[in-house]
Amino acid sequence: MSGPPTRTDTTVADAGEPALIDRVRARAGTPPDFVTLGIGDDAAVVEPARGELDVITTDVLVEGVHFRRDWTDARSIGAKAVAVNLSDLAAMGATPRLVLLSLVLPPALTLADFDALVDGVCVEAAGARAALVGGNIARSPGPLVVDVTAMGAVGRRRVLRRSGGRAGDELYMTGAIGAAAAGLAMLRAGVDRTALDPESADCLRRYEHPSARVRCGRVVAASRSASACIDLSDGLAEAARQLAAASGTGVVLDAESIPLAPGASRWLGTDPNGPGTDPGTVGTDPIQAALTGGEDYELLFAVPPHRRRAFLGAMRRCQPLPATRIGRLTADSGASLSVAGVLGPLGQGFRHFQA
């Protein structure tokens, strides 16, 4: 991550497992009061949030699949491993409380990169007021694997499910899509980071270091205005399909309404300002690429029309994060994209194993 190791670079294998655990403990800092027992015992012990439900999720970043160490620094990898989990908690309306970190480390990983990775984990968790309370360190025969478990709490009447949507509900999404796909395209193209325009640089930053919409999920859950919610980790198209499938409805997205991240169209699909562009595809190809690109850690909400005012009121409390109406749930099954008033099939998002 900072060039090939020099002779003075210590590796995790040099440091030894007990020293690595000590370094994690030092970085995790003093746990909050609800943590009865943190790092250093067989398991962590925590006081549940009074009167609330536990929400628990796990998600992993794997070298060569989710990241490349020659593209992305260790601190960002650690931060992103936490953020993708916080995004799952956000999609349930939960308040994050703690994370566990399971590291599978190549022995040649430098101690500097180990420290940076753990710093990224701790800072990202602390930003959401979650404590790193435990985990595991093992040796890898190959890739670096960063597996995080995150736990939060939510009031029992505030749980946001995927399955609560009904035909006629409006679909709203936070933020914009396409930034992550554009950032990945930049890395694949081997761009010079120092020469990027500000909008492209912002896309790259959002690919490498996404922010989970934790506050938004919590505020909307508290307003009880959304009937269903899912995050966009596998792309908007896949999220819309899954929310509709879980809710037993169909879905139509309006291509013209979907907000594309500024700068993303320069890196996705056909550049409308580029040479040889077919006017019939202007504005649709970047959206198609963004729809199926994945890793936009935004939230998709289903909102019954009679709760629209309450939902928009909740979203005003989340400013400057915008919410945009982009489609609706339908009585007939199926997933469609409306482009200039013509319905076509909605593409498929990211899947680890394409059947």
Q: Does 333 help bind a copy of itself (rule: CB under 8 A)?
A: no
| Shortest CB 66 distance to a copy of itself, Å | 7
What SS3 state is found at 329? strand
CA distances in angstroms from 37 to 119, 298, 331, listed in the order given: 21, 33, 50
Closer to a copy of itself at the Cβ: 111 or 196?
Answer: 111
The answer to whether residue 339 forms part of the interface with a copy of itself (CB under 8 A) is no
What are 234's two structure tokens? 């596998």
Per DSSP, the three-state class of 170 is strand
**Among positions 102, 281, 330, 338, the unique one binding a copy of itself when judged by CB under 8 A:** 102
Which of the residues 121 through 140 are near a copy of itself (CB under 8 A)? 133-140
Of the candidates 26, 29, 41, 316, which one interacts with a copy of itself according to CB under 8 A? 41
Residue closer to a copy of itself (CB basis): 96 or 286: 96
Smallest gap from residue 254 Cβ to a copy of itself (A): 24
Q: Please, which residue, 246 or 312, has the CB nearer to a copy of itself?
A: 246
Strand partners, 345: 336
Among 24, 83, 91, 204, contact with a copy of itself (rule: CB under 8 A): 91
Q: Are 179 and 202 in contact (CB under 8 A)?
A: yes
146-175 residues near a copy of itself, rule: CB under 8 A? 147, 149-152, 154, 156, 159, 161-163
Helix (H) or strand (E) holding 293: helix 285-293
Amino acid at 80: K
- Per-residue contact string for residues 8-37; x = within reach of a copy of itself by CB under 8 A: ----xxxxxxxxx---------------xx
192 CB-side CA count, 13 A? 2
Smallest distance from the beta carbon of 23 to a copy of itself, in angstroms?
12
**87, 212 Cβ separation under 8 angstroms:** yes
Q: What mask, x for binding a copy of itself by CB under 8 A, covers residues 235 to 254?
A: -----------x--------
Q: Contact, 320 vs 233, CB < 8 A?
A: no
**CA angle 6–66–25, rounded 5-degree value:** 60
